[in-house]
Amino acid sequence: MTVFFRHSKHLLASLALFSVLGMMLAMRPTPTAMERVMTRGELVVMTRPSNTTYYQDQHGYTGMEYELAKGFADSLGVELRMLESDDPSYIRYAIRKGTADMAAAGLVATAERSESLHFTTDYQKVDSLVVRRLDTPRIRGMEDLTGKRVAVAAGSSHAELLVKAQLENPGLEFQEVEEASPEQLLALVEDGQVDYTLIHSNNYSLQRALWPELTADYTAATDMPLAWAFNPKDDQSLYLAAQRYLTQAKANGTTAKLEDRFYGHVEQFNLYAARSFMRHLEDRLPRYEELFRKAEGNSGFDWRLLAALAYQESLWDPGAISPTGVKGLMMLTNDTARQMGISDRTDPAQSILAGADYLRHTHDRIPARIPEPSRTWMALAAYNVGFGHLEDARVLTQSQGGNPDNWQDVKQRLPMLANPAYAGQLRYGNARGGQAVIYVRHIRRYYDLLVWAENSRRRDDTLIALN
């Protein structure tokens, strides 16, 4: 009995200790959303792969949403981890379940979504456009969709918009396509499987040249706010930090600069040029793609950037020649050809490899402190107008209070090189700097189209079958 009693005392003491520990654990406050992020050292963000949100180019991951989210993570002093989904419904579910800390996925902050998600202030506004083939009837109101084949992404803001339109037009029907990307929906319209789809204006502006037989001449909704989404059941610590960051980003011009970076080079649409590009993309580019890929290995530049440069120079025509005597796919001068050690400027292999090497040589002369992508855009400008003239523009930029290491600032001064009023400030003389700005803008446009055409593999994987 004595032994049993002694063991019982120890058992009671242990139970008391565990009880105290349990009470202490129960009293410990639940970590806030911000504390979870800081403890983890990582901000987890749900996004949607798209050329308006998150994609990969020669410099790595980029996109409007990615750059903003990266800036937010940097402001918190943590790493950024992106999770991808094409399904808007799953993105919202993942936020509510805590799979990610927030969503930066080009989500429109609608009244319906605000019932289950906590949205920040908007960082961009977009319109909802109705897309059709050029050979189909133009619509002038949502009632014109009645009796037509309409498809939109399941769970999208476009689906919500059509549900509202059905209240006034009961005969309007539409199909929601699960996990459909904008490219897949555009392909459905182009191939005649549906008559109409809806797309956001920012996405359409970037992709329009890939779909020259489509048009968006009716706006179903305007000024739709794009915002970040948080779990409304969480405390507001991380949400409020995001609010402060976005408010400051709008106030200090960060969002405006990002919009200019991603959309500022999208010139007015030209149907003839778009049709020519798509025709050349299918007929000419395949002949030289392997050469561009080889040049990527030699020079370190994305082969699609080199292809975009060549398209701007020659429309991928190895026999191209200008009135000034430059020749070939990369339109090299005699001096450049000799400098790069080639004998035949009209030979595609020699031209592509020499052009890539010359761009690398020019890029290496740009100060290494200049961050990408500004350094590459400046190298392209120098490829066109000359390195000395680019330096003159950078000096002008600095003297006028701009940032000589930022392409957005330098491109504003390049046209001044042709102005006699600035002749006394130019070490290398007058030049057609405005032409270099247009040159870079076109190359960026072609490059974006090539990146997205390959990423979406538009002629194959974008095609989906409707039920």
Which 8-state DSSP code applies to residue 138? P
Among 313, 312, 315, residue whose Cα is nearest residue 287: 315
CA–CA distances in Å: residue 204 to residues 114, 272, 329, 394: 25, 17, 30, 34
Among 329, 389, 373, residue whose Cα is nearest residue 353: 329
Look up residue 211 and give its two tokens: 């779909």
Do the strands 151-153 and 229-230 form a parallel or antiparallel pair, or are they unpaired?
A: unpaired
> What whole-number distance in Å separates Cα of residue 73 and Cα of residue 221?
32
Residue 383 bridge partners (DSSP)? none
Residue 313 bears catalytic tag: yes
Count other C-beta atoms under 10 Å from residue 262's C-beta: 20
Count other C-beta atoms under 10 Å from residue 167's C-beta: 8
CA–CA distances in Å: residue 113 to residues 108, 109, 230, 235, 458: 8, 6, 11, 19, 31
Count other C-beta atoms under 10 Å from residue 251's C-beta: 9
> What whole-number distance in Å separates Cα of residue 231 and Cα of residue 38?
17
Count other C-beta atoms under 10 Å from residue 32's C-beta: 14
> What whole-number distance in Å separates Cα of residue 388 and Cα of residue 18?
77
Among 25, 72, 19, residue whose Cα is nearest residue 47: 72
Choosing from 190, 313, 372, 391, the catalytic residue is: 313
> What whole-number distance in Å separates Cα of residue 172 and Cα of residue 146?
4
Among 101, 37, 102, residue whose Cα is nearest residue 75: 37
Look up residue 298 and give its two tokens: 């030699």
Determine contact, residues 343/349, Cβ cutoff 8 Å: no
Residue 63 Rama label (left phi>0; alpha psi -120 to 50; beta): left
> What whole-number distance in Å separates Cα of residue 53 and Cα of residue 238?
21
Annotated catalytic residues are 313
